[in-house]
Each structure stands twice: as structure tokens, then as C-alpha cells.
Amino acid sequence: MKKRLYIVCAGLLVLALLLLVLYFLLSDESLQINDYDLANAAVRVYPDYTSIAIPPNIAPLNFQIKNPGKYYYVRIYSNNGKAIHVRSRKGIIKIPHKRWANLLQENIGAELKYDVFIQDQTGRWIKYETITNTIARDSIDPYLVYRKIDICQGWNIMGIYQRDLTGFDESIVIHNKSYGYGCANCHCFLNNNPDTMVLQVRSPAYGTPMLMVRQGQVNAVNTKTAVTPGKCGFTAIHPNGKIIAFTLNKFSMLTHLAGDEVREVFDHAADLALYLVDDNQVLSTSKITKPDRIETFPAWSPDGKYLYFCSATQFPPEKYNEVLCDLMRISYDPKTNKWGDLETVLPARKINRSFTQPRFSPNGKYILLSVSDYSDFPIHMVKSDLYLLESATGECRKMSISSDRNDSWHGFSSNGRWIVFNSKRMDGRFSRPFFSYFDKSGRAHKPFVMPQMDPTFYRSLTRVYNVPELIIKPIDISQRNFASSIIGYKKTTSEATAITGATPGMQLPSSSEDVQQTETPWTDPYARE
């Protein structure tokens, strides 16, 4: 009896080994094609992953070959390591993840080549021009956080998601289904680190908390004061992590009767203020709360001495196409709460276009900007370009990575070597996250869209990406924690105190009396005509 059992077990083992051998033999995708014609043409691939610089830690750049054919064969190789062979009947090239990762790691700084063979209807193989990409020496931050939403005014569902760029995993950071279908707008991080982050929520059911994460703990902050309505817009965290600059925008959506772009976001009023985290206080100055000007898109200089922002003359809605934003800055001393003078860094009249969304490179050497023909809200413009400003010299130039469509919502990686931005270049309508290598000489390389497991993914995606932000590690706060902070916000959070010379009836901070004696009263932007 026992003997028979041993025989059965041994037989099963042999069978398993045989199957294993068979699997390895059959899974070898390599193909010997000796007889082929050379096509002196570049192969058409979707998405365009040709002649790009790629991070050594990026997920496989799966693509689709658009040239017609009966059979497709791609060989991916570099100086070192084993080549990757991919065969396909439909032209969908899905690269094995592990082998891809190994190949990239073994060839950092080298060229990555793709030999593409297509078998035509007669059975003849055609070899197209070799695709050559470069594996950059610098890694990209492994996670990307973004909002996914339908193109809409009255939203229904939306969520903030994080994507592991080294693979294809995407997870939900927070979805508005968990807090009554409210809105989650612009998220921001301190130095690309999710340990300190801010996320503003607007929920008809639960209020408008500013969710603030510090040392892995999430808090719902009430920024409502006597003069601030508590609905923050864009935010920027001071390098010391204790001050958050935020905007108070009174937006409305206008509709174009004709033309390519349907929507126009108009700012009826916009002011800037600071939230002092430790003191639970809101602070501002009349220099950045002028009723006759829009002040928006705050960004701290990496040394924390200046608050950069965009500012334009306030116009009525019918003059929507006259809104041109200057890039401005104001110095601020966090120790004394002392404001300096306003300075115009980059006047709009210089190129007669509007500067928005300033973002510093981590070393403070560059400022990346969105530039559109008008408006302080570039995402709805038909065309918006990326400009680079050298902060030391003041030299400003249009970046070569700009497309003839809308490029905006940009940011740097923590090492400053990668730029992420939203672009509508693929179809002119639906924005997707793109990456571009930004080398030491300040040159940006040809951008590429965030890779997906299914290379045709973007072809049928009618949702859009917003505010892509690179982070060095995943956000480890659970969705539930975020949701419960929002849900419990009204019960647990008290209003902040407004302490500003610009606020009528408010006590002046003692250390900045000399500056703020000249303040004019600050009025709630929502109450302005």
C-alpha cells in the first residue's frame, strides 16, 4: 500500500517537473528572424515612447504598434543583461515586469533599444528603424498622487489616487463616496514627502475642512475666521512645515459660445493668507489681499524667505480675456510675522501672456510656470505652455517640452531631475500625466505619458487627471482615517483666529506693528461684488 503511494507521489513529481520544463521551453519568446526586409521608416507606436529618457525605476513602458501586420516581434536590449523578447498577434507589447526592471538597473545611463519586426500578410518579416531610448541616471520618485475626475462643473464622483510608478498598482487615497460626494481639491506636499501634506475638502454635508497631515497624523482644520470663508483653494507648505499659504478664490464657470474650449473658470476675487499651524491662526496683509487684484497660486521659495504668487488686475467677467497674471513675491519672516515689500518678479507684459502655477525646483534654482494667453486658471485654456525661469538671473524661456495644446499642473521630483505635468497633448481634451527628464544643464527631455499595464488604456479613458504630484513614499494614512476626519470635522474642530492688521477689529501682532500700521481693512472675498 505504502509502495503504491510512493509510486504515485513520484509519478506526480515527475509530471510536475515535466510541466515546469515545458513551461520554460514554451515561454521563451525569443525568435530567430534572419530573413527580413528593412523598412526605412519609424514604427508607429502608441503611446509615443520613442527617443525618450526614462527613469531606471519606472514600470514597463507597454505600448501598441499601430502599423498593420499579422504578427509582431519586439526585442528590447541594452549593453548589459539579457534581452527581452515580446511577441504579439495584435501589436500589444506587454513587457515582463521583472526582466524589464533588471534590464534597466543593469544599464543605468546607457541606451535602451527596441528592434521591431512586423510580419505582413504575405508572411514576410519587416524590420523597422530601431527605437532608442535612454535610461537616465536619476530615479523618479516612486509614487504619483493625482485626482481623477470627469470633465464637469457639478461633479459626481472623484477621488485622489496614488500610483506606484515602479509598477502598475493604483490605490485610492480618498474617494468622495466616503464623505457624501464632496469635492477634494488641490493636494500638496512638503518636499515631496507625504508625511506633511495638505488637502482641501468641500462637502455640502460635512463642511470645508483643510485636511492636514503631519507626522503621519491627519487633522481637519477649520480656516474660517471673521474674514475668511473657510474654503481654501491652492495651498503651499512653508519649508519649516508650520505655515501653510492658501488662497481664497471666488470662482465661477463661464461657457464659451464658440471655440475649441467650452469652459472658462473666472476668478471674481482671490486673496492670499497664511495658516499658522501651531497657533491655529490665520494671518495676512493687505498687500496680498487687495480687492482690486487677484492673488493666487502661492509657492514658497525653498529657503522659506519669500512667498511667490501670481497676481492680476481684477476685471469683471465680461473682460475675462484681459486677466494677465504677473509673477510676484513678498518676503515674510516666520519668526516675527513680518511682511516685506511686494516685488514683481516677472511682469505679464513682458510676453503679454499670463504666468501661473509657479513651482520651485528643490534646489531653488528654477521656477517652472504655466503660461497662457490670459486667465489665472490655465487648465481650461486651449493652449498653455511650460516656461522655465532661472531664479538667479531672471531669464525666462519657453520649454521645448511644451506642446501645441494645454500643459499645466506641473511639479518637480524630490531630486529635481524629473518634471511631472498634466498635458492634453494626446487628444486635446482629456489631460494625462507626463514625465520629462530635467538634466543638470536645465534641459528637459521629450516627455512620455505615465505607463499603464494596458497600452490602450488612455484611448478609452474619458476621465481626466488633475494635480499630479510626485512623492517619495506612499501615503500611509488609510482612506477611513481621512474620511472620519472629514465626517467628524464639524463636531470637533473649532474655527481659527484671524490675526492680521488687515482684519478690522483684530489685534495686531506685536512684532510686526510697524509693517501693519498701514494696513487697509480686509474684506471677505466671497462678500465682494
Partner 1 sequence: MAKTLRIFTKSKLGLSVRTIIFLIACFLVCCYWINPKLIVYGYSELFYIPIYVPGSEWFVDSPTYPGKCLDFLAAYLTHYYAYLWMGSLIITLVIWLLTWLTGRVIQVMQGEKLFFLRYIPAIIVMMQNGRYNHDLSRSLFLICILVLFCLYNLISLRHSWLRMTLFLLLVILGYVLAAPFYWVFPAFTIMYEIFIRRNWRMGAFCVILSIFVPYLGSIYYGHGMQEAYLCTWISSCFPDIGYGDRMLGNINYFLLPLIGLSCVCFNIINDRYFRKSKSNKRHPGSDTLQVATDSNRSVWQINSLIGLKWLLTTSVLLLILFGGFRLTRNDVRCKYLHLISLARQEKWTELLSEAQVFPNQCYDRYICFYVNRALYHTGQLSQKMFSFPQQPKALLLRTNIRYGGKERVRHYSALCDLSYEFGHINKSEDLCYEAMTMSSYSPWILKRLALIYIVKEQPEAAVTCLWKLRKDYLYRDWAIKWLEQLEKDPMMLKNPEIQYIRSVMPQSDSIQETITARDFFQPLFNRNRNNRMAYEYLTAMYLLTNDLDSFISVFSQLNDLCGPEIPMHHQEAILLYSKMSNKPISIWRGKLSRVNIVRFNRFFKTYEQYRNDLNAAAQVLAKDFENTYYYYNLIIFPTLQKSAAK
Where do contacts with partner 1 occur on this chain (CB under 8 A)?
Answer: 148-157, 159, 161, 170, 172, 175, 177-178, 252, 254-260, 262-264, 317-318, 320, 426-430, 456, 458-463, 478-480, 483-484, 487
| H or E element in which residue 343 lies | strand 338-346
Give the shortest CB-326-to-partner 1 separation in angstroms.
Answer: 23
Give the shortest CB-36-to-partner 1 separation in angstroms.
Answer: 27
Q: Which of 222, 280, 189 is nearest to 486 (CA)?
A: 222
| H or E element in which residue 388 lies | strand 384-390
Decide: residue 39, CB within 10 A, 0-12 exposed, 13-18 middle, 19+ buried: middle
Please, which residue, 154 or 505, has the CB nearer to partner 1? 154
The answer to whether the Cα torsion of 433, 367, 267, 427 is positive or negative is negative
Please, which residue, 159 or 358, has the CB nearer to partner 1? 159
Give the shortest CB-116-to-partner 1 separation in angstroms.
Answer: 22
Please, which residue, 230 or 447, has the CB nearer to partner 1? 447
CA angle 258, 262, 265 (to 5 degrees): 125
Please, which residue, 64 or 235, has the CB nearer to partner 1? 64
d(CA 119, CA 126): 6
d(CA 294, CA 262): 23
Give the shortest CB-238-to-partner 1 separation in angstroms.
Answer: 32
Please, which residue, 269 or 508, has the CB nearer to partner 1? 269
The residues near 204 (Cβ < 8 Å, ≥ 6 apart) are 180, 182
Give the shortest CB-149-to-partner 1 separation in angstroms.
Answer: 8
Give the shortest CB-60-to-partner 1 separation in angstroms.
Answer: 19
Give the shortest CB-38-to-partner 1 separation in angstroms.
Answer: 27
Please, which residue, 114 or 266, has the CB nearer to partner 1? 266
Give the shortest CB-183-to-partner 1 separation in angstroms.
Answer: 12
The CB density around residue 21, as the number of other CB atoms within 10 Å, is: 10
For residues 63 and 50, the answer to whether their CB atoms sit within 8 Å is no
Please, which residue, 216 or 316, has the CB nearer to partner 1? 316
Please, which residue, 151 or 351, has the CB nearer to partner 1? 151
Chain-centre distance of CA 480, in angstroms? 24
CA angle 360, 366, 369 (to 5 degrees): 65
Please, which residue, 253 or 472, has the CB nearer to partner 1? 253
Q: What are phi and psi of 269, to 5 degrees?
A: -165, 145
Q: Which of 335, 311, 334, 309 is nearest to 238 (CA)?
A: 334
| H or E element in which residue 5 lies | helix 2-26
Give the shortest CB-458-to-partner 1 separation in angstroms.
Answer: 8
Give the shortest CB-420-to-partner 1 separation in angstroms.
Answer: 20
Give the shortest CB-471-to-partner 1 separation in angstroms.
Answer: 20
| H or E element in which residue 214 lies | strand 210-214
DSSP state of 492: H
d(CA 141, CA 163): 11
For residues 450 and 165, the answer to whether their CB atoms sit within 8 Å is yes
Please, which residue, 259 or 505, has the CB nearer to partner 1? 259
The answer to whether the Cα torsion of 400, 404, 408, 413 is positive or negative is negative
For residues 57 and 141, the answer to whether their CB atoms sit within 8 Å is no
Q: Which of 300, 243, 238, 302 is nearest to 274 (CA)?
A: 243
Please, which residue, 321 or 518, has the CB nearer to partner 1? 321
Grouping H, G, I as helix, E, B as strand and the rest as coil, residue 25 is helix
Give the shortest CB-484-to-partner 1 separation in angstroms.
Answer: 7
d(CA 482, CA 485): 5
Query: Which residue shows C-alpha cell 529657503?
Result: 303
> What are the grid coordinates assigned to 402, written together?
511644451
Give the shortest CB-177-to-partner 1 separation in angstroms.
Answer: 6
List residues bridging with 466 in a β-sheet: 147
Please, which residue, 28 or 318, has the CB nearer to partner 1? 318
The residues near 497 (Cβ < 8 Å, ≥ 6 apart) are 225, 279, 280, 281, 282
Please, which residue, 110 or 461, has the CB nearer to partner 1? 461
